[in-house]
Structure formats: C-alpha cells, structure tokens
Amino acid sequence: MTQVVRNLLIACIAVFVLQNIMPLERTFALWPVDDYAHRFQVWQLVTYAFLHGGLTHILFNMFALYMFGPEIERLVGSKRFAVYYGVCVVTAALTQLVVQHLENGPSIATVGASGGIFGLLLAYGLAFPHRKLMLIFPPIPMPAWLFVTLYGLVELYLGVSGRNASVAHFAHLGGMIGGFALIAYWRYQRHSRR
C-alpha cells in the first residue's frame, strides 16, 4: 500500500460512513451548473469524488483504487500521483457538467471516485500495456492496453446510447481524457529538456 492510495481509501471510506449519518450530498455532490436551486459550488469539482451512491459503488471504486493505484504511485511518485488523480477527478467533473448542460435533463447530482479511477486505468494501460488482466466476466485474460481500450469504448457506447443512464459514463471518459492530456504534457516536458 502506498501513501496517497492509503489516504484516498481512508478518506473515501470515512466520508461514506458520514454520508450514512448526515446529508452531505446537497453541499458536496457535483450539481449541474444550471441547477434550478443553484446548488453548484466550485469545491464540488473535487468533493464529489469522495461521496458514493451505495455500498456496491464504493466497493468497486475502492477495489480498483487498491488494485491499480499503488503501482502507478510507485512509478511516478506520490506527489505526481496525487496531481494526476486530482486532474482526472476535476476533468471528469468538468466533462460531466458540460454533458449535463448540453442534455438539459433533470438536475441530478454526480458522486463517486470513478473519474479518478478511470484515469488510473488509463495510466496503468499505458505504463504496463502487456501485463495480463483477468476479468470476472468473461473470464478471459487480456493485455492491459486492450482492457482499457475496450472499457473506454464501452463507456462511450453507453454514454452515447443513453443506456444505464444512472451512471456518469462521460465523467469516466473525462477522467481518461484528463489523464491522457497530463501524461502527454509530462512526456512533452521530459523530451523538451533533452
């Protein structure tokens, strides 16, 4: 277990416990910018990622953080990992806000660390492209790059088709896009110093 991953796990679990004691969603979930009750606040671009919509939601997100986060943190260092995760969370939030505005649908709050998790999946696929991952369903081993690519395409399909509309598919994609942009920027910085 690495430092930032451990702290994120503790923070998300602690907030989840608090969520079941007091109503945190009204203030800390990500509300649409054009929400009729004007509930959107800037801090929600970060705080929404510590809230979760039920036990299954937090279990899947924290399991993925535990599985993929430590290797990425060891690879890039704790400071860069924290920056990377934060950028993925914020770009996921911004993507979700844009999509909600364009859809002009009901005012629904977004919660969950999935945007950051999808950014970590992208980083893992780029860093360890040939490492084998075994899915539960279907139980087929596949290289990390293929898993990440397929998962991203499934999210795009689900977002465009409107299936499983209770899930913020475009936020997941926004986390991946933010992660990709930051990795590209870091690579450009490294090459320009040579």
Q: What is the pLDDT of residue 181?
A: 97
User: Rounded to whole angstroms, how far apart are CA atoms 172 and 92?
Assistant: 6
User: Rounded to whole angstroms, how far apart are CA atoms 43 and 75?
Assistant: 29
User: Rounded to whole angstroms, how far apart are CA atoms 55 and 19?
Assistant: 11
What topology is assigned to 3-192 in CATH?
Rhomboid-like fold (1.20.1540)
Q: What is the pLDDT of residue 36?
A: 67
Mean pLDDT per 10-residue interval, the chain, length 194 residues: 97 96 94 81 96 95 96 97 98 95 84 97 97 82 93 92 85 97 94 78
Between the CA of residue 154 and those of 88, 113, 138, 184, what are the distances in Å? Answer: 19, 18, 14, 23
The predicted model scores a pTM of 0.93
Q: What is the pLDDT of residue 191?
A: 84
* Tokens found for residue 184: 């590209």
* Tokens found for residue 4: 């930032």
* Tokens found for residue 78: 């704790």
